[in-house]
Structure 1
Amino acid sequence: MMRECEEHGYFRDEYCPVCGEEGKFIMNDYELEKLGRTMAGILRHGRFNLKMDDQGFVRIKDIVSKVKENNPRMHWLRPHHIIALADTDSKGRYQVSGDEIRATYGHTIPLDLRLDTDNIPDELYYPTTEEEAEIILEAGLMPSDRSMVHLSLTYDDAFAAGSVRVENPVILAIDTNACFDAGYDIGKAAKTVFLCKQVPAECMRIIYEEELE
């Protein structure tokens, strides 16, 4: 459920988490999920071939028009619905700039995202399987189904991401300073997601949870 508090803005709940007011209805859960999937298709994968700049930004009004054109049942859609979805996304999947929006990560299309490379943690993490870990540690880490390698802020973040594929993912620790020294910059894309074109084999190792205790 998406609502808007007059004082505290958009929120995803029955009541404003700050003041407890019910707020104004914006979208139900089904509409929220439907719009989120459509936006991911447009901003991450180039669906509908909307005009997109080299950093991945698309005009919000263009998205509204194209969604309504292809799904008449969403005739109610307005720019503020898209802004509300972006503002309340807990993972920071979207960035709004003026009248444009882009996905911060997950792209399968080549872009020049120009991410912030300052204050990158000394170590980031990547989930994989036992079989793939051996190959990666020998050959290095390259993008597979995405245009960039996606790294996680914490061990737990990586484990959660890897658990979507396998029950007990193997977690690789990435030495970010070594990665920069090798000429592969790492940029912050979202709250817990960092992107890199590739990671050399010598910049990573398998890490176990007990090492972090």
Structure 2
Amino acid sequence: MDQLAEADAVKDSKFLAGVLRHDPGKIGVTLDAAGWVDVDVLLAALKRRGRRIDRARLDFVVEHNNKKRFEYDESGARIRASQGHSVPVDLGYEPQDPPETLFHGTATRSLDSIFAEGLLPGGRHHVHLSVDVETAVKVGSRHGKPVVLVVAAARMRADGRAFFRSTNGVWLTEHVAPEYLSFAQPDSVGPPA
């Protein structure tokens, strides 16, 4: 994929994420209770609003999105965002046992509130956690100087907290209390000096 095509795919992906996670009304579509919308309805709405996304382009964006933000249903007739919604949806994910530890990337400026209140979902339904430090660093970098927090996920689960795993591998939970948090050890992502 050339750089121009990749840049266009990123723009289309971000636009679709905004629609399918936060504002389906922006283009005049409605999500069902599980976050699905018919592909034909989505494509027609995009066309009415001047967005040049046909089925082949949509397939390309879904397939090549490095974050795997979207999924088709088994028939390929419906699409939804895998996680990250601020609109009411029930994705139907079943609770799962998480790994021993998970990671959360954030900005150093957020640490005081995080260690006072824990990790909160903000405008989303869940706190998003990753299985590796590298992904957490990327997430934290989007918000400022990154820091990676280690989440004692297995201990949280043993204490009765629920975890869910989205189809794109992101771990989800409603809240991470401060007592389950510590700093990652790698030099480049530890606590601020």
Give the alignment's TM-score, normalised by structure 1: 0.75
Rounded to whole Å, the distance in 2 between the matches of 1:128 and 1:29 is 26
Correspondent of 1:154 among 110, 132, 135: 132
Rounded to whole Å, the distance in 2 between the matches of 1:106 and 1:143 is 9
Give the match for residue 100 of structure 2: 122
Question: Which runs of no fewer than 5 residues in structure 2 stay unpaired?
Answer: 188-193
Per-residue deviation, residues 144-191 of structure 1 (Å, max 9, x unmatched) = 232321111111110111012223x22111111222234331111244
- For 2:68, what is the secondary structure of its paired residue? coil
Whose relative contact order is higher, 1 or 2, with alpha carbons under 8 Å and at least 6 apart?
2
Please report the RMSD computed on the Cα atoms of aligned residues, expressed in angstroms: 2.5
Give the match for residue 6 of structure 1: none
The more displaced of 59-68 and 116-125 is: 116-125
Residues 106 and 140 of structure 2 are in contact (CA less than 8 Å); yes or no, is this contact kept in structure 1?
A: yes
- For 1:68, what is the secondary structure of its paired residue? helix
Correspondent of 1:69 among 48, 54, 68: 48
Q: 1:135 to 1:38 in 2, by over 3 A?
A: closer
Residues 179 and 203 of structure 1 are in contact (CA less than 8 Å); yes or no, is this contact kept in structure 2?
A: yes
Correspondent of 2:56 among 75, 80, 89: 80
Give the match for residue 202 of structure 1: 179
Indicate the structure (1 or 2) with the bigger Cα radius of gyration.
1
- For 2:161, what is the secondary structure of its paired residue? coil
Residues 105 and 147 of structure 2 are in contact (CA less than 8 Å); yes or no, is this contact kept in structure 1?
A: yes
Question: Which runs of no fewer than 5 residues in structure 1 stay unpaired?
Answer: 1-12, 15-26
Correspondent of 1:172 among 149, 154, 157: 149
- 1:38-117 map, 5 Å: 38-48=15-25, 49-71=28-50, 74=52, 77-97=53-73, 98=75, 99-117=77-95
**What is the identity, as a one-letter code, of the residue corresponding to 2:38?**
R
Residues 24 and 30 of structure 2 are in contact (CA less than 8 Å); yes or no, is this contact kept in structure 1?
A: no
Rounded to whole Å, the distance in 1 between the matches of 2:129 and 2:104 is 5
The more displaced of 151-160 and 111-120 is: 111-120
- 1:176-187 map, 5 Å: 176-187=153-164
- For 1:128, what is the secondary structure of its paired residue? strand
Give the match for residue 141 of structure 1: 119
Using the TM superposition, give the Cα deviation of residue 199 of structure 1 relative to its aligned residue in structure 2, in angstroms. Answer: 1.2
